[in-house]
Structure formats: structure tokens, C-alpha cells
Amino acid sequence: MNRQEKRNGVVVETQGLTKIYGKGHTEVIAVKDASLSVSHGELVALLGPSGSGKSTLLSAMGLVNPPTMGRITIDGNLVMEGPRAFVDVLAFRRTHIGFVFQKANLIPFLSALENVQVAMAINDIPAREARKRAMDLLDYLKVADRANYYPNILSGGEQQRVAIARALANNSPLLLADEPTAALDGQLGREVVELFQKIAHEQKSGVMVVTHDQRVLELFDKVYFIEDGVLRLSSDEATVGKH
Amino acid sequence: MNLAVRDIRHNLGRFILTAMGIGLLLMTVMGMTGIYRGLVEDATGLIDRIGADLWVVQRDTRGPFAEVSNIPLSLEDRVRSVPGVSRSRAFLSHTIQRESRGKPLRMVVQGLSWPQDHGQWLPIIRGRPLAAPHYEMIADRILGLPLGEKVKLGKDLCTVVGITSGMAGTGGDGMAFFSLLDAQAIQRDITGEAIRLDRTAQQEKTATRDIGRIQPALIENGTSLLGTMAPPISAVLIDVSPGANSRQVLNTIAAWKDVSVYTSADERELLLKGNVDKSRRQLWLFRVILVITSSIIMALIIYTLTLDKVHDIAMLKLMGARDSVVLGMIMQQAALLGAFGYVFGYYVGQFAFPYFPRRVSLAPIDLLVIAGVVLGISILSSFLGIWRTSKIDPNLVLS
């Protein structure tokens, strides 16, 4: 069974995830007892004011910043319990998680095509196959005509599309996006979220987007709200169009 | 995907300029190495080419190259009578400075034992060996004297009949080969006035002594030869007969109280440990300093290049890149920088070295060793960048 066929059920689940920085007087609880889940084909928003713990939660889910307590399960695998990892984190991140950020963070000395290819190259995908898939992804995201351009001559929207293509390169079941629309104007921001929606629904990936933008919340299947490190599901709020 | 090459391609101008800078440093290292080899070759070239088995020099001196050695010309005949000696040649060596076409001309005058030695063993690239006992010379091309040039040396005009290559003294001055008599004449170029003054002084000195007063004829007889006596030579070269015991010949001559005798290997060793040693050590020190300087500069360049890519490296780490991907990029960049610098340094050196005042002689083994050193300093210099890379946290991208 390949990964595409496996795509049903929960892609990521956190249980009682807590992240504490510092000790004693300097101790700060960034995330407290957060439990959430994102299913395959689901577009989930994580809302919250600055400093509420959004990025901390996202980095923990992305296996970049291990939690102090709690469990993280991805694609049916228990990957972390507290700071203890049960998998090779680097390899797992390479194959299971794609990242998109507020800034595209494209590598400036690689063309758009190479920026997508590099994600596959570090996952040992043969160059020819990687090139074809990268072109397909750029085409899917409607930036194929910019394939050989360097990031510095791409517009903000084009850069973000290339970054999304890179995040999708390894066919990862989980896509984490940290305020990907913050640097874009309203229309472009909406287009990007629509793109995530399309990716979630068509590619059956679980997509979690940290955002401030209340105008696009109706595009999400589920919205979580975090404040002072405390997470709650906001599916009952009027801001979520579908629910 | 080779990230190192792609980064270089994107910042080609900066890479080329950096490689050129490194290349010039490496060219200097090559130059120093070549000068060192040239120095040794120049110093030992004559000993190797002249092909003598034994060198006889003034007693308790270290031979004609390490210090002044004066022995009488008659020693050549005395040595020839020793059993086992097949040939003996007188040899004279001294350095002079004259003017040629308004420029100072320094040359190491070498006297060849005429008629046995015409200089046929010399590496003559144009012209011919000596064909006459007087007024001919073979000059090394360093001296810049063309074939047929007439040079006034002493009281005579000598014509350049042959040009050699790679024959220079330990000081880097070109050698010129003459018949022994001409070389002696150049050495003892004393004016008539000087001889007359010397004679007068000797006569006055003898006249004041008892012997002069008792036998006045001695005053005239004893001083009339002043200025006409054959000047001494520097060494006698011995060829041992085939089958004869070289050590036995050496022991026989070494027993004489007025001379010392060395094998060619001894003479070579004396030369390298004497005249050449300080220059050799100094050049070695310069080379070490230059290699260290190159390493530090390369390390700082690689470190700076790494600092430029901190965010990109954090992104690669976040995407799950193995350490080997990032380290490989840094080490490959360092190696490419070293390789381009090496090639640039080599080719610039090919144009620059002929203009160096001292001969630069680079053997393939030198180039190979320098290539190894460059590889070593490339690896060493990338350590600083690698250390910086290891400190990069993928969280940097999230922040």
C-alpha cells in the first residue's frame, strides 16, 4: 500500500502537549496541555494573538522543537513522547512533513525548479524523477513558466507558490504553514489559502495553517484557537464558515 | 544536486576574485618552493655535472664552494701519480663583478683544465665548447651575454662561444667557463704599477734584513718573480680508474699534510649544509608562514561564505537535510576554492617566474606536494565553517 492509498484517518494528533521554557522563576509555559488532530484531506487553521504559543505548537508538531510533555502521533506512528523521540526525527521530517512560512525562505542560489528539487534531492530521490515531479508541482501551482528564475526576480506570490511546491515535493502527508499569507495582500493571501484547500482536498494531505487573517477562515475545515498557550477548538464560532 | 557548485555559479564573480586572491598566495608558495629547488640545483649542478670522483682542496678547508681554497697548480701532477687515478683536472672558481653595457655583470668564473677539459660536459644550448686555450668563454644564459659577444675581462677580450642553461652559483649569479689560464689571469688582474710598488716594498724590506745586507743579490733575485708566479687554483678533480678502489685513493691523498680530499657526495653535502643551508631554512620558514596565512585566509573566507548562508542552511536542516549534505557543501566549496586558486596560481606563475631574479625550478613532485598541501588546508579551513554550521538551529527559520 503506498502512502497515497493510506491517506485516510488522522495524519497528526497531539495529546496533552506542553512546552515549557526556562526553569524556576524564569519558567514560561508556552503551550499547555494541547490536544488536537488533523486528518488527511483536512485544512485546519490555528488562530491566536502574538505570543500565544502558535509557532511553538507548530514547531513541536514539526518535530523541530520537542515538547516538554505530551505525545505526538504522525501518520499512525508515535513519534514523540515528551522530549523523547521514537523515530529518526530528521528522516521522519524529511518524508512526512512539509513546511511553508510567512517568508518563502527559498534558497537564493537555486532557481525555482531547483528549490523544489532540493527537497527531493535530500530525500535521495533520483535527479530525473525529482526534476519531473518538481516541474509537475510548479505546473500544478501555476508557476511552471518561472521554473528557471531565481527567487530574487519572482514576485511574493510566486515565491510563496514555489515554497508550497517545495513543501509538497516529498508527497508529505502533513503540511505545516506558519502565517503564509502575512506578507501577501488580501487577494493573494486568499489565493494561497485556496491553494492549501485544493492541496488538502486533492492530495489528501493534512494541512495546518497558522494565520491571523480572519477573512479567509471560511475556507478552513476546522479552526483551533490558542491564547496564553491554551488551545481550544473553535468549530462553534461564527467565524468558521463551514461549521 | 550539488549545492556547492550552484552557490558558486550564483556568486561567480565573488568566487573568482576570492580564488584569484588565494591563487596569488599559492603562487608565492610555489615560487618559494621553486626558488628553493633552483637554489639546490644551482648549487649542486656543477658538482653533479663535472663528474669527478674526488675533490682535492686546501688542507682543513671545506672546498672551493664553502670557503676559499688555494692550492698550487703543481698538485694536479702530483695527484696524477697516485695509483688508481685515471685523470686529474685543475679547477678554479671565483666570483667577479664587472660592467657590461652599463649594467653590473656578476659572474662565477670557472677555470677548466686545458687541454683535458673543453667544457664538453656542460649543458650547452647554443654554440660550442671551448676550442682554443685562450680568449674564449662559455656563459650561462642568466648572464644575458649573446653568442659572439666580446667581454673585456682583465687585460683581454673574451668571446662568448657557447651558452649554457641552469649553471648558476649558490648566490644565483650565472657561471662563465674559461680555460684555467684565462680564469687565473682574470683572478690575478694586477696592474703593472701595483707589481712595481710591491717589488719596491719587498726590496726595501729585504734590504733592511741581515740576509739582504750579507747577500745583496737576493734583493734582486727574490723580488723579480713577484707578479709573475702562477696563481693558486681552487681544487684538483680526480677521476678514479675503473675498478680502482676509490676509498684507497682518497686515503692515500688524505695522508698528505697539505690537502684535504672529499668525495663528490661529501662536497655536495658540504655545499648544502654550508652556503645553501641558511637560504634553505629561510625559504622553508617563508613557505610555512605562507601556508599558514593561506589556511587562515581560506578559513575566514569559508566562514564568511557560511555566515551568508546561515538562513539557507537552517532551511535545509528544517527540511531534514542530513549533516553530510551541509558539510559536503562547505567542504566542496573549500576544495573548489583551493583547486581554482591552485590552477590560477600555477598559470600566473608560469608567466611570472621567468621574471624572478632567482631561478624558479618546479619539479612535478613539488607541484604534487603543494596540491596535497592545498587539499589539506582546504579541509582544515572548512572546519571553521563546519563548526558554525553545526551551531545553526533549524528553529531559526521559524523565528
DSSP class per residue in B10-77: HTHHHHHHHHHHHHHHHHHHHHHHHHHHHHHHHHHHHHHHH--SEEEEETTS-HHHHS---B-TTHHH
Give contacts of B390 with chain A, Cβ < 8 Å.
none
What Å distances lie between residue A131 and A24, A112, A136, CA to CA?
51, 11, 9
Amino acid found at B71:
I
Give contacts of A74 with chain B, Cβ < 8 Å.
none
A65 within some domain = yes
How many domains does chain A contain in total? 1
Q: Please spell the DSSP secondary structure of A197-232, one letter per residue.
A: HHHHHHH--EEEEEE--GGGGGG-SEEEEEETTEEE
Q: What is the CATH number of the domain that holds A77?
A: 3.40.50.300
**Which of B175, B170, B90, B171 lies closest to B124 in space, CA to CA?**
B175
Contact B319 A58 (CB under 8 A): no
| Interface-testing mutation among A50, A99, A107, with chain B (most B C-beta atoms within 10 A) | A107
Contact B319 A99 (CB under 8 A): yes
Contact A122 B398 (CB under 8 A): no
A11-59 pLDDT tens trace = 899 999 999 988 878 888 888 998 998 998 899 999 888 888 888 898 8
Question: Which cell is B9 given?
Answer: 555559479
Give contacts of B7 with chain A, Cβ < 8 Å.
109
A87 within some domain = yes
Residues of A with CB under 8 A from a CB of B: 55, 58-59, 62, 64-65, 90-95, 97, 99, 101, 105, 107-110, 114, 117-119, 121-123, 127, 130, 150, 166, 178
Q: Does residue B115 have a cis bond before it (omega within 30 degrees)?
A: yes
Q: How far apart are CA B192 and CA B200, in angstroms?
A: 12
Residues 6+ apart with CB under 8 A from B212: B206, B218, B219
Whole-number average pLDDT of chain B: 84
Q: Are strands B103-112 and B85-100 parallel, antiparallel or unpaired?
A: antiparallel
Q: How far apart are CA A60 and CA A81, in angstroms?
A: 11
Residues 6+ apart with CB under 8 A from A212: A47, A179, A182
Contact A107 B312 (CB under 8 A): yes
Give the pLDDT score at B280: 80
Give the pLDDT score at B229: 63
A194 within some domain = yes
Phi first, then psi, for residue B73 (nearest 5°) are -60, -30
Residues of B with CB under 8 A from a CB of A: 1, 3, 6-7, 9-11, 311-312, 315-316, 318-322, 325, 394-395, 397-399
Question: Which cell is B95 given?
Answer: 666570483
| DSSP bridge partners of A227 | A230
Contact B395 A65 (CB under 8 A): yes
Residue where the block lists cell 527540511? B319
Residue of A nearest to B10 (CA): A109
Give the pLDDT score at B177: 93
B133-177 pLDDT tens trace = 899 999 998 888 899 988 888 778 889 999 998 888 877 788 999
Q: How far apart are CA A111 and CA A148, in angstroms?
A: 5
pLDDT above 80 (res A7): no
Distance from CA of A16 to the nearest CA of B (A): 22
B32-59 pLDDT tens trace = 889 888 888 887 888 888 888 999 999 8
Contact A55 B394 (CB under 8 A): no
Contact B316 A127 (CB under 8 A): no
The 8-class DSSP code of residue A236 comes to T
Give contacts of A105 with chain B, Cβ < 8 Å.
311, 315, 397
Residue B261 — very low, low, confident or very high, per pLDDT cuts 50/70/90? very high
Give the pLDDT score at B352: 93
Q: How far apart are CA A129 and CA A136, in angstroms?
A: 11
A133 within some domain = no
Residue of B nearest to A166 (CA): B319
Contact B7 A109 (CB under 8 A): yes
Give contacts of A166 with chain B, Cβ < 8 Å.
319
A209 within some domain = yes
B55-108 pLDDT tens trace = 999 988 887 877 788 888 888 889 989 999 998 888 888 888 887 777 888 888
User: A166, A101 in Cβ contact below 8 A?
Assistant: no
**Which of B348, B301, B381, B389 lies closest to B11 in space, CA to CA?**
B301
Q: Are strands B174-179 and B136-140 parallel, antiparallel or unpaired?
A: antiparallel
Q: Which of B312, B320, B395 sits opposite A93 (nearest CB)?
A: B320
Burial environment of residue A145 by CB neighbours within 10 A (0 to 12, 13 to 18, 19 or more): exposed
Give the pLDDT score at B390: 81
Give contacts of A123 with chain B, Cβ < 8 Å.
320
**Percentage, residues of chain A above pLDDT 90:** 13
Q: How far apart are CA B69 and CA B80, in angstroms?
A: 20
Chain A, chain B: beta-carbon pairs less than 8 Å apart: 70
A23 within some domain = yes
| Torsion sign, CA atoms B96, B99, B105, B107 | negative
Residue where the block lists cell 683535458? B116
Cα–Cα–Cα angle for A30, A35, A40, nearest 5°? Answer: 120
Taking residues A83-112, report their average pLDDT.
87
Q: Which of B6, B9, B319 sits opposite A122 (nearest CB)?
A: B319
B197-252 pLDDT tens trace = 877 777 777 777 776 666 666 666 666 555 556 678 888 999 999 888 889 999 99
What Å distances lie between residue B186 and A168, B107, B341, B362, CA to CA?
89, 12, 49, 35
Q: Which of A94, A110, A127 sits opposite B319 (nearest CB)?
A: A94
| DSSP bridge partners of A34 | A17
Q: Which domain holds residue A24?
A: 10-103+173-233
Give contacts of B312 with chain A, Cβ < 8 Å.
107-109
Residue of A nearest to B319 (CA): A94
pLDDT above 80 (res A242): no
A84 within some domain = yes
| Interface-testing mutation among A19, A94, A109, A148, with chain B (most B C-beta atoms within 10 A) | A109
A158 within some domain = no
